[in-house]
């Protein structure tokens, strides 16, 4: 078998040729079979079969098998003369070899060694090919579920655009409902299992559809389908009523995994970026209206254009001073005297003044809310400094901080620097954070609160009672002020005893915790009387004032009685 050196050289050349841009398994198999065919007579080969088994790993959780066979001389079957063995040359790949000599031929030891040497080179080629294939794919794969990631989906979408096929597709952004609650209840480990399980359901769903269809994980509990139009209804049906079975100590718990979807029918041939933006907007609409499914429509398209315009114009508006604080007074329930205020953002556009609902959601999605929070603090401190310099005694004023801003590691220093820049006593400043912030940023919130307290800046919780986390928050966190949400105030003038009992006991609990209480959204004297009887010290609402521009609020500072 002197020519065994020749086949080894040719196989080694394949190894040298393979790189991350040339690792197609099929083409490599074809080359191997061709080389073996050329040397089949000198190696006395009858038939060769190689089974690759890709073991379960991060990228292919269910494993994968591929087989290539080649017959060089007629052999009925593998007999006792065959060489059968396994090789595991690199991670992820096991090659099972079955090699049969020509009919009636028996290899001697030297020939067997030559065949094994050739086989080992083949195993190295296959392993390297698979390994480089993984390296190419990892950039576009979600390691938790094995689905393609958002980058991979965008890549596919651009390819479909280039082929002018994208107009045949529907995009669907799918989000798991109440997943944060599930994650909190069962723990992050079970949460991860649910994410993987839902991903496997999505994969099987797409695999069973006609034509080329795709599903991606966009991170967190978000998935994205890009499917042919005729398959959209099957996707919506497939993600309904999904249940995950959790086994704990041989006992089974059924966890429902409900989902909602925002869909975009791309009949006009929009780009992949526009499909993703449209589905995201539809999903936000579904969430706001508490619906399971919402399709993107013309009205939403107009809202997207409006949002884009707001985002583009917002930085310039801040620079020109068109973004301004309006101040909504807080009034003491006993003395009926101004005792505080909340600074609320407004956008002046000529004769119009836009409320937050007209632009804030777009700003939050785009990320400029980080700059807005500190900008508003600076506006407030500037106004406070002006009033102090003119002998007008201000009141403690709250500035809202978005929960996304809490991840800014410089936020504490930036906040204190602004307060010091205008030489404002910290007793005039309050930072207001929504209740839901703690659920996602617990440790970050705790550190922020501690640092603010070290600088004598009070922290308030906005919208108290609207989430399920209220009692949990007060077990581990200490807020200085709590603002009871308007939804608890609205019904106390009606004949609804339960609402009054809940509100009364909520206020009593907060008083026992030595927390200052503000009631939001108060609109009638009857509401004030009830809140005062319960012990609520501070009232904020239209009964006294809407949010006021600077000059009108200044008059309230001068004449404080209501």
pLDDT of residue 483 exceeding 60: yes
Q: Quick one: average pLDDT of 464-470?
A: 56
- Poorest-confidence range of 120-129, 306-315, 363-372? 363-372
Q: Token digits for 247?
A: 């086994």
DSSP string, 325-357: EEEEEEEETTT-BEEEEEEEEEEEETTEEE-GG
Residue that is written with structure tokens 């649910």 in the block: 194
Q: Token digits for 340?
A: 């505080």
- Poorest-confidence range of 16-20, 104-108, 290-294, 463-467? 463-467
The per-residue pLDDT for range 48-78, each reduced to its tens digit, is 998 887 665 444 444 567 788 888 888 888 8
On whether the pTM is more than 0.85, the answer is no
- Poorest-confidence range of 269-283, 479-493, 525-539? 479-493
The per-residue pLDDT for range 165-187, each reduced to its tens digit, is 999 999 999 999 988 888 888 88
pLDDT of residue 469 exceeding 70: no
Assign 3-class secondary structure to 307-330.
HHHHHHHHHHHHHHCCEEEEEEEE
DSSP string, 428-480: GEEEEEETTHHHHHHHHHHHHHHHHHHTT-EEEEEEETSSTTHHHHHHH---S
Q: Class assignment of domain 305-558? A: alpha beta
- What is the pLDDT confidence band of residue 467, given thresholds at 50, 70 and 90? low
Identify the three-state secondary structure at position 411. helix
Calculate the average pLDDT of the chain.
Answer: 85
Identify the three-state secondary structure at position 125. helix
- Poorest-confidence range of 296-305, 327-336, 440-449? 440-449
- Poorest-confidence range of 174-183, 423-432, 456-465, 544-553? 456-465
Which pLDDT score is estimated for 326? 97
The per-residue pLDDT for range 136-160, each reduced to its tens digit, is 667 788 878 888 888 889 889 988 9
Which pLDDT score is estimated for 75? 83
CA 124/CA 435 separation, integer angstroms: 57
Answer whether 404's CB lies under 8 Å from 440's CB. Answer: no
Non-local (6+) Cβ contacts of 137 within 8 A are 59
The per-residue pLDDT for range 75-123, each reduced to its tens digit, is 888 888 898 888 876 556 788 899 999 988 999 998 899 899 888 888 8
Which pLDDT score is estimated for 476? 56
CA 90/CA 130 separation, integer angstroms: 9
Parse the chain into domains and list their residue ranges: 4-138, 150-296, 305-558
Answer whether 449's CB lies under 8 Å from 398's CB. Answer: no
Check residues 480 and 435 and name the one with the higher pLDDT: 480
Which pLDDT score is estimated for 132? 75
Q: Quick one: average pLDDT of 14-19?
A: 75
**Under CATH, what is the fold of the domain 4-138?**
Beta-Lactamase (3.30.450)
56 — phi, psi (to 5°)?
A: -55, 130
Q: Quick one: average pLDDT of 452-457?
A: 91
Q: Which of 390, 333, 330, 393 is nearest to 545 (CA)?
A: 330
**Under CATH, what is the fold of the domain 150-296?**
Alpha-Beta Plaits (3.30.70)
CA 98/CA 32 separation, integer angstroms: 15
- What is the pLDDT confidence band of residue 395, given thresholds at 50, 70 and 90? very high
Burial per residue of 62-96, b for 16 or more beta-carbon CB atoms within 10 angstroms, e otherwise: eeeeeebebebeebeeeeebbbeeebebeebbbbb
Give the Cα-Cα-Cα angle 483, 375, 403 (nearest 5 degrees).
Answer: 45
DSSP 213: -
Which pLDDT score is estimated for 42? 86
Which pLDDT score is estimated for 59? 47
Which pLDDT score is estimated for 23? 61
Q: Which of 324, 374, 342, 288 is nearest to 486 (CA)?
A: 342
pLDDT of residue 13 exceeding 80: yes
């Amino acid at each position: 078998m002197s020519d065994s050196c020749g086949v080894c050289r040719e196989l080694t050349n394949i190894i040298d040729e393979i790189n991350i841009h040339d690792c197609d398994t099929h083409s490599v198999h074809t080359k191997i079979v061709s080389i073996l065919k050329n040397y089949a007579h000198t190696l006395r080969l009858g038939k060769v079969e190689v089974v690759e088994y890709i073991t379960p790993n991060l990228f292919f959780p269910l494993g994968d098998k591929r087989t290539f066979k080649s017959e060089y001389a007629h052999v009925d079957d593998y007999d006792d003369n065959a060489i059968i063995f396994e090789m595991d040359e690199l991670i992820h790949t096991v090659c099972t070899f079955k090699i049969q000599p020509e009919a009636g031929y028996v290899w001697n030891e030297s020939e067997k060694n030559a065949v094994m040497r050739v086989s080992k080179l083949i195993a190295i080629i296959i392993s390297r090919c698979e390994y480089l294939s993984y390296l190419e794919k990892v950039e576009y794969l979600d390691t938790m579920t094995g689905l393609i990631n958002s980058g991979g989906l965008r890549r596919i979408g651009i390819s479909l655009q280039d082929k002018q096929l994208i107009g045949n597709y529907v995009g669907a952004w799918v989000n798991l409902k109440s997943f944060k609650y599930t994650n909190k209840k069962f723990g992050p480990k079970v949460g991860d299992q649910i994410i993987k399980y839902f991903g496997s359901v999505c994969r099987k769903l797409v695999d069973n559809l006609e034509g080329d269809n795709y599903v991606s994980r966009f991170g967190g509990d978000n998935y994205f389908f890009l499917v042919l139009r005729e398959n959209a209804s099957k996707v919506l049906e497939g993600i309904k009523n999904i249940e995950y079975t959790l086994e704990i100590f041989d006992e089974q718990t059924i966890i429902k995994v409900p989902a909602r979807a925002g869909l975009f029918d791309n009949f006009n041939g929009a780009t992949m970026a526009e499909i993703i933006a449209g589905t995201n907007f539809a999903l936000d609409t579904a969430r706001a209206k508490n619906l399971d499914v919402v399709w993107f429509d013309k009205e939403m398209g107009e809202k997207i254009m409006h949002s884009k315009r707001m985002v583009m114009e917002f930085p310039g508006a801040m620079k020109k001073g068109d973004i301004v604080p309006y101040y909504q007074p807080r009034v003491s329930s006993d003395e009926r005297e101004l005792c505080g205020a909340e600074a609320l953002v407004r956008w002046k556009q000529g004769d119009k003044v836009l409320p937050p609902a007209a632009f804030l959601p777009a700003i939050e999605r785009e990320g400029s809310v980080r700059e807005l929070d500190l900008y508003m603090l600076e506006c407030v401190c500037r106004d406070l400094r002006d009033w102090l310099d003119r002998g007008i005694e201000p009141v403690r004023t709250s500035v809202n901080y978005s929960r996304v801003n809490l991840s800014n590691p410089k936020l504490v220093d930036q906040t204190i620097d602004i307060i010091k820049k205008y030489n404002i006593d910290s007793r005039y400043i309050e930072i207001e954070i929504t209740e839901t912030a703690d659920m996602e940023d617990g440790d970050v919130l705790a550190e922020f609160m501690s640092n603010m307290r070290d600088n004598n800046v009070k922290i308030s919780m906005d919208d108290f009672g609207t989430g399920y986390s209220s009692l949990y928050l007060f077990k581990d966190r200490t807020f200085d002020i709590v603002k009871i949400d308007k939804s608890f105030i609205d019904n106390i003038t009606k004949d609804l005893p339960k609402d009054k009992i809940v509100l009364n006991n909520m206020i009593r609990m907060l008083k026992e915790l030595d927390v200052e209480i503000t009631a939001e959204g108060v609109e009638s004297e009857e509401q004030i009387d009830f809140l005062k009887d319960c012990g609520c010290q501070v009232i904020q609402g239209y009964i006294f004032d809407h949010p006021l521009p600077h000059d009108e609020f200044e008059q309230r500072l001068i004449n404080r009685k209501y």
